[in-house]
Structure 1
Amino acid sequence: MAMHDRETPLAEQVVVVTGGGRGLGRSIVRAFAREGACVAVNYRRSREQAEALAAEIGEDRAFAVEADVTDEYQVNELFADVRARFGMSATTVVNNALADFSFNGDARPHADRIRWDEFSAQFEGGVRAALNTVQAALPDLRAQGSGRIINIGTNLFQRPVVPYHDYTAAKAALLSLTRTMATDLGPDGITVNMVSGGLLRTTDASAGTPEVVFDGIAESTPLRHVVAPEEFADAVLFFASPWARAVTGQNLVVDGGFVTD
């Protein structure tokens, strides 16, 4: 079967969005639901928000599912719940969950004070979590002969304007994992890509960001605009769509042109 024959339209997909109950994850869930996909709204602590979002979409196409994505057992149970609920396996995985973090440069520790356990927490929440979800989804994706894995990154690789040492290091590792997995899983018809943003106006994580920072970023972009979560979510849809069937191992920066290389 040719690759293009295996592509699944968005309206026929079953999507798992980790950390989908709030912030950027909520916008990603809504974007997929708008296109007709079935969505599992994963959460760790945001039960109320996740259940409200699933109810907003409708129980026939969305449900809230609790799992700590750093826990391999819970992630395996998550994908089993998806199969049981929708009667089919996940076709797309969006690794969006973010370990506890506040995007406020003034409050983040600088090089002289940051501790290794802060790095470790970000690696657990970003890299280990993504590894868990990919490994849990992989048997089903291989059986289907296709699949989409989309990791959420950051433009701080290219322009580290704030001292988010731990967060940026973990996301850089996730980009490396994106590219090595793209090579490894390509023969199975599975694409692995990353969508990287800058500061978003506004999510739960960026709620502590001073307004002057938003204004400064807006003035530094060609669009004179700070990207909204809804705009970022639309770019995620591209990598899940049939139009991206020949794209893998890529990192798409969605930040209004703040970073251009």
Structure 2
Amino acid sequence: MKLSEQWVLVTGGARGLGASITRALAREGAGVIINYYQSADAANALAAELGERAIAIQADITDAGQVAQLFKTAREKTGKPITGVVNNALVDFKFDGDARPKIGEISWARFDQQLQGAIKGALNTIQAALPGMREQHFGRVVNVGTNLFQNPVVPYHDYTAAKAALLSLTRTAANDLGPDGITVNMLSGGLLRTTDASAATPEAVFDIIAGLTPLRSVTTPDEFADAVLFFLSPWSRAVTGQNLVVDGGLVKD
């Protein structure tokens, strides 16, 4: 199914990386459901900017009932099922380096919060999407991960653990849903220059990372968004259960 024939849900789609993914999809003619939790103004402004094939809908992705209502509302507004899901939403997290707690002091509550957002959120959206995807015998799920699995240079213990669990879910879901024509993949970036979450990172850190990458630059949200399009498009039809690192070549998976 071409991107222009799809309606795609982007969780956390109003700000930062999510907004870049939303704009990239709209550029290619896809219909986009812009999910937001608290960013109503940003979501509605982005929907107005992109036109009638962009719809902002509020939902807490960790609440299965709210996610089910989101899918119901989207179907009522578009007349079509959502066939693409981008699990991008990040729950209350800042990439603030040295300010993050080390392993000796971090609380379980931080892990639980990130697991709720990454795993429970993705499970809720996948389960809510299944009836529509099975109806079409076509579906694309793209989970946003991190290159910190392979290169844990900063002690984001809670965030990295949750994203590692999301990679496991990606692969088991890919095996489970393949017979239904549904692919499930992950895209893992490094620090992006710049999003709301990475704004606390000193410029010197960005410059160091740029110097270490083969491309000599830090990946931007727009560059990452372009890679998301591949996994939502027909060109990825034989690719599932994979983790593609999109960080300018810094980490080799």
Distance in 1 separating the partners of 2:74 and 2:139 = 15
1:21 aligned onto 2:8 = no
1:90 aligned onto 2:78: no
Unaligned runs of 5+ in 2: none
**Distance in structure 2 (CA, Å) of the matches to 1:82 and 1:95:** 16
Deviation by residue 1:12-54 (Cα, 9 ceiling, x = unmatched):
1100000001000000000000000100000000011011100
Alignment counterpart, residue 72 of structure 1, candidates 56, 64, 69: 64
Q: Hey, what does 2:101 align to over in structure 1?
A: 109
TM superposition shift of 1:112: 1.1
Name the structure 1 match of 2:35: 42
Aligned equivalents of 1:233, 1:38: Cα separation in 2: 15
RMSD in angstroms over aligned alpha carbons?
Answer: 0.5
SS at match of 2:241: coil
SS in structure 2 at match of 1:39: strand
Q: Take 1:84 and 1:203, find their aligned partners in 2: how far apart are those partners?
A: 32
Shift, 1:70, TM fit = 0.1
1:162 corresponds to 2:154:
yes
**Counterpart in the other structure of 1:223:** 215
Separation of aligned partners in 2, 1:54 and 1:107: 35
- Report the count of equivalent residues: 253
Q: In 2, distance between residues paired with 1:49 and 1:201?
A: 20
Structure 2 counterpart of 1:51, one-letter code: N
Q: How does 1:100-249 map to 2 (within 5 A)?
A: 100-249=92-241
Give the Cα–Cα distance (whole angstroms) in 1 for the partners of residues 46 and 34 of structure 2.
8
CA deviation digits over 1:83-103, x for unaligned, max 9? 011110101000000010000
Percent sequence identity over aligned pairs: 68
- The normalised TM-score by structure 1 is 0.96
Matched, 1:55 2:57: no
Structure 1 stretches (4+) deviating beyond 6 angstroms?
Answer: none
Please report how far the alpha carbon of residue 160 of structure 1 lies from its aligned counterpart in structure 2 after TM superposition.
0.3
CA distance in 2, matches of 1:100, 1:157: 20
* Aligned partner letter, 1:55: A
Could you tell me which residue of structure 1 aligns to residue 26 of structure 2? 33
Which runs of 5 or more structure 1 residues have no equivalent in the other structure? Answer: 1-7
Report deviation, 1:220. Answer: 0.5
Give the drift of 1:260: 1.3
